[in-house]
Amino acid sequence: MKKSPARNMLLKKAPSKLLERINSSIDVDVRLFQEDIEASRVHCKMLIKTKIISLKDGKKIINGLQQILRDVKKDKIKLDSKFEDIHMNVEALLHSKIGPIAGKLHTGRSRNDQVVTDFKLWIKKHSQIIDDEIRKLQKALIKIAKRNTSTVMPGYTHLQIAQPVSLAHHCLAYVEMMGRNRSRISDCIKRLNESPLGAGALAGTSFPIDRKMTARLLGFSKPTINSIDSVSDRDFAVEFIFVLSLTGIHLSRLAEEIILWSSQHFNFVKLPDELSTGSSIMPQKKNPDGAELVRANASSVISNLNNILSLLKGLPLSYSKDLQDDKRLTFNTYDNVLLGLQVMAELMNKIKFNKKTMLQAVEESYATSTDLADWLVKKLHYPFREAYQITGKIVDYANSKNKSLSNMSLKELQKFDNNISNDIFRVLSPLNSMKSKNSLGGSAPETVKKSIQYVIKKYL
Ligand code: ARG
């Protein structure tokens, strides 16, 4: 049976089964396979250039690593939990390909700088995938917005109907949220973009390594400057998980709206059949399971954020094995949020809106009350507070008569103020109310059309 390349001579006994179980991370960090090989290849190139190892040995190592990579792609690799993690597995595989020369690869580095280098490379690569999936969701939302700048729906505060807005304007709110997430991802990557390779176990190394070279070849902007911080820093993982969990929370808010809107009480949307499920006993049911599970997944990602923060809070410098758990939390967050983004994009691409029902909900509410008060201010020059009082009385009356504002007669309105004239009815219609909100960032169709042009340019 092969021994782990890192097994220390001081340890007279083989690791117990239990230690193997708690120590092994290969099931999780197998996802760093490509990054580990890439970082090793670059490290080896540097060892050759600085003459720390000979060109002949270095070439053997690089060839061996390339063979492993090819085997990985062909699914021909067998990993062994005895070798703890991906780094020891790659080293053992290299050993089986090229013999003891494999042992030269680990000159001037440690698993502590190796793991954090691989992990940063992984996050960099996968942050682009997330960014792209967010863009796709934005695209789906913008597509809805383009067709619905004049589609009236109730705008809510406190989940009470507040003022008419357009479906386009509502969708663009999510486009903005998602845009901020993309910008957070790029900020996080900017800060992460320093190479820890060469920090060694924690103190640096006495070999004449070239950290600038490895940083450049791995695509980092520069090497990190403090070796102790380099191996103990996981702030970048916290930030990445934070950005993803906030994205997950935004997805959950959108999912919650879809769930509400698809209930019979709202009936604003028709869910795509392929993203809904039926009930096992109630034949009439169509459940929004896709959206519900996106909402549920947000709770896992919140826990992961909490988890990584508490993992770090008591750790003295520099590396401790607790840090191994960072990857489980990061990968789980990534998987959840990626899936959530894909589900919500498909949902938004396929959902159908019941425009009539949405308009009716506005008409049956008193969503244009503020417009009525504004009319009293503009036309009859009342101070706003007074206009607000008069409008309150009108709404109260309309409510008692079970009438909408636009269904009241001029005579009825004049009971509250003699000077009210016929042109008040123009502002009581939901569409006109919406059209009048032409302040910057407001819901008027013309304003929203401009916003659409803006977000297309900015995000797509
Ligand atoms: N598997 C370890 C991790 O993910 C690699 C670093 C091991 N370093 C050590 N000193 N045991 O953190």
Q: What are the residue boundaries of the structural domains of the chain, listed by start? A: 17-107, 112-210+217-354, 361-459
- Closest residue CA from atom 4 of ligand 1: 324
Residue 165 bridge partners (DSSP) = 153
Position 4 scores a pLDDT of: 66
What contacts 24+ positions apart, CB below 8 Å, involve 386-392?
390/416, 390/417
236 Cβ inside 6 Å of ligand 1: no
**Probe target for ligand 1 pocket from 11, 112, 312, with the most ligand atoms within 8 Å of CB:** 112
**C-alpha 184 – ligand 1 centre gap (Å):** 28
373 Cβ inside 6 Å of ligand 1: no
- Residue 158 bears catalytic tag: yes
SS (H, E, C) 209-231: CCHHHHHHHCCCCEECCCHHHHH
Query: Can you tell me which residue has the tokens 């090497």?
Result: 223
Q: What is the mean pLDDT of each run of 10 residues along the chain (460 residues)?
A: 68 88 92 97 98 98 97 88 92 96 97 98 98 98 98 96 96 98 98 98 98 98 98 98 98 98 95 82 82 96 98 97 98 98 97 96 92 95 95 95 91 94 92 94 97 98
CATH fold for the domain made of 361-459: Ribonucleotide Reductase Protein R1; domain 1 (1.10.40)
CATH number at 17-107: 1.10.275.10
> CA-to-CA distance for 190 and 164, rounded, in angstroms?
41
Ligand 1 atom closest to the CA of 86, numbered from 1 = 1
- Residue 87 bears catalytic tag: no
Contact 85, 24 (CB under 8 A): yes
165 membership: H or E segment, kind and range: strand 160-166
**Probe target for ligand 1 pocket from 115, 228, 317, with the most ligand atoms within 8 Å of CB:** 115
**C-alpha 304 – ligand 1 centre gap (Å):** 20
Say if domain 112-210+217-354 classifies as CATH 1.20.200.10: yes
pTM of the model: 0.94
Position 3 scores a pLDDT of: 62
**C-alpha 130 – ligand 1 centre gap (Å):** 27
**C-alpha 298 – ligand 1 centre gap (Å):** 29
Q: What residue ranges in 241-336 does DSSP mark as E strands?
A: 269-270
Contact 41, 65 (CB under 8 A): yes
Position 6 scores a pLDDT of: 67
Position 93 scores a pLDDT of: 96
- Closest residue CA from atom 3 of ligand 1: 324
Position 1 scores a pLDDT of: 45
112 Cβ inside 6 Å of ligand 1: yes
Is 328 exposed, middle or buried (CB count within 10 Å of its CB: 0-12, 13-18, 19+)? Answer: middle
Could you say which of 16, 96, 279, 320 is catalytic?
279
